[in-house]
Amino acid sequence: MLPQAADYDALRRNFRWSIPDRFNMGVAVCDAWAAREPERPAIVEWRNGELVNHSYEDLRRASNRFARVLRARGIGRGDRVAILLPQSPETVVAHVAIYKIGAIALPLAALFGMDALEYRLSDSGAAGIVTDASGVAKLRRISPRPEALHLIVSIDGADGDVLDFHAACRAEAHDFTPVDTRPDDPGLMIYTSGTTGQAKGALHGHRVLLGHVPGVQFPHEFLPRPGDRMWTPADWAWAGGLLNVLMPSLYLGVPVVCRRFDRFDPEAALALIDQAGIRNAFIPPTALRMLRSVPNPRRSFKLDLRTMASGGEALGAEVYEWGRDAFGLTINEFYGQTECNLVLASCASIGVSRAGAIGRAVPGHDVAVVRNDGTPCDVDEMGQIAIRRPNPVMFLEYWNRPEATAEKFIGDWMITGDLARQDADGYVRFTGRDDDVITSAGYRIGPGEIEDCLLRHPAVVIGAAVGKPDPLRTEIVKAFVVLRDGFEPSDQLAAEISGFVRERLSAHEYPREIAFVPDLPLTTSGKVIRRLLRDLG
């Protein structure tokens, strides 16, 4: 916990981690509060235009019931259980129950297509999945079903061999003794994209929640404060929504507002902030740019925001200045990766804030800009952002990928692949990637998965995906495609290929632009030279 302070240097100098010998995320975000203040609001659900409170005691009872459901069907310690749901109370219940039984939660984005789902379910060896009717429909199209997956539970009711979430929970008692877990015991796995091959599962221990707390408190200016109420439009399946908002807020006793947005709507978002009394928000830069379409938001809506944080991509000086005029506060930018999140941040209330800068190291984290050999860069010298281990927010390993895990480190520095410069005052300014990961609307997208999917289209011989600068999304995915004999370039074919990828992977991963080319630039070893493709625009 960060104490209220007015001096950054003293705050950083005096900070000490306090990680207990035993710690369980499910107990920490639910049962601990239920024992003290059972009726305290935990989740505030926007349902059909009304706000519905779900207390910590409601969450405790529901998660205990679902823990029993999972246990009765053979799922226990170390098993992976996927969660394919939008923002909803059931999503929280599933997470808490999985942690309580000592299993590993595997959040999956609702926008994933069947190929993306099949890979993650198979690679993780998931034993079960909690989803809705839309998710069940996607799973039906995966044939054969991943070998280890023997339990499918739907919040929308039974369907053949699919178990009814609510009916199954009602049949169980609401008492349950959580598994005794250590901070380093695996509890959560989030897949993250890389430059080559398929996405990798970043495995985290239960301590990841404690590691996130200072990084949430800092940009939210010493959360919690009386009246604080948190919201984000970000999907809780991503590290940004789950670990920057949902879990730490519940741990700190701050109610979290949930509402499903199929597509981000600036007017509806501002109306929600108004009507739900939201005081704290994490809004990614792309969504902030979309909010700029609403003139004078404080005139049209009653906004009582205390803090606003943003991250996932560079905010930029223009949006930073706009935020002050539009909301009467400074947007606090922060930075992290799925593997080691929320390690750099701003906190305007104590003077840690500069336009165009991510911020400074969050207390408790040793962050530097380093050269390729791991030595610290000089002031304003370009290098990679790196975080020193051990660190409670840092991942345990990549799932079944020891080589990739080892490659992530230079000595005790975990390297991020993000290029930046650090000034004399310790502010870090993000410059870009040193690899081919595409950053679009806050999502990190690896080209490998897209290129694999492109190859499945009957018209495509080979394809390469790169990021193209975009004023709204930072980058969009652009694909360069070589066609098979018998196929001719056309707008219709480009749209068909884009739709093919969107359906199979995700609504955020598909190429929004396709260029047909006679061949791709390759190295002597046969690797695509994406730098040359990016130069083509």
Query: Do the Cβ atoms of 519 and 482 come closer than 8 Å?
Result: yes
Mean pLDDT of 109-127: 94
- The answer on pLDDT for 455 being more than 90 is no
Q: What is the pLDDT of residue 468?
A: 93
Determine the Cα–Cα distance for residues 526 and 60; give it in Å rounded to an integer: 55
Residue 3 DSSP class: P
Specify the 3-state DSSP secondary structure of 347: strand
What are the structural domain ranges in the chain?
Answer: 24-181, 438-536
- For residue 369, give both structure tokens: 């800009």
Residue 378 DSSP class: P
Please choose, from the candidates 308, 302, 320, 315, the residue with its C-alpha nearest in 3D space to the C-alpha of residue 281.
308
* Residues whose CB falls within 8 Å of the CB of residue 104, separated by 6 or more in sequence, listed in order: 78, 79, 80, 81, 98, 186, 187, 188, 189, 203
Determine the Cα–Cα distance for residues 8 and 360; give it in Å rounded to an integer: 9
Instruction: Tell the residue number behind the tokens 């009304």, with chain if given.
Output: 50
- CATH code that applies to domain 24-181: 3.40.50.12780
Q: What is the pLDDT of residue 435?
A: 66
H helices within 162-307, ranges in order?
Answer: 165-170, 208-217, 239-241, 247-252, 266-275, 285-291, 297-300
- The answer on pLDDT for 525 being more than 50 is no
Question: Sign of dihedral through CA atoms 490, 496, 500, 503?
Answer: positive
Q: Which amino acid is at 426?
A: G
- The answer on pLDDT for 241 being more than 90 is yes
Read off the pLDDT band of 434 (50, 70, 90): low
What fold, for 438-536?
Answer: GMP Synthetase; Chain A, domain 3 (3.30.300)
List b or e across 445-460, with b for residues whose CB sees 16 or more CB atoms inside 10 angstroms: bbbbbbbbbbeebebb
Mean pLDDT of 241-259: 97
Q: Where are the beta strands (DSSP E) in 149-285?
A: 151-154, 163-164, 186-192, 200-205, 230-231, 256-258, 280-282
Mean pLDDT of 325-331: 95
Determine the Cα–Cα distance for residues 190 and 107; give it in Å rounded to an integer: 6
- For residue 112, give both structure tokens: 């994933």
Length of the chain: 537
Q: What is the pLDDT of residue 133?
A: 97
- The answer on pLDDT for 522 being more than 80 is no
Query: Do the Cβ atoms of 138 and 114 come closer than 8 Å?
Result: yes
Determine the Cα–Cα distance for residues 12 and 10; give it in Å rounded to an integer: 5
470-503 residue pLDDT tens: 989 889 999 999 998 899 999 999 999 999 999 9
> Is the peptide bond prior to 518 cis by the omega test (within 30 degrees of 0)?
no
Determine the Cα–Cα distance for residues 226 and 238; give it in Å rounded to an integer: 28
Provide the CA 243 distance to its chain's centre, in angstroms.
7
Q: For the CA atoms of 58, 60, 61, 66, what is the dihedral angle to 10 degrees?
A: 120
Determine the Cα–Cα distance for residues 437 and 443; give it in Å rounded to an integer: 10
- Reading phi first (left if > 0) and then psi (alpha if -120 to 50, else beta), residue 294 is in beta
294-317 residue pLDDT tens: 888 999 999 999 999 999 877 878
Strand partners, 483: 460
What is the bridge-based pairing of β-strands 200-205 and 186-192? antiparallel
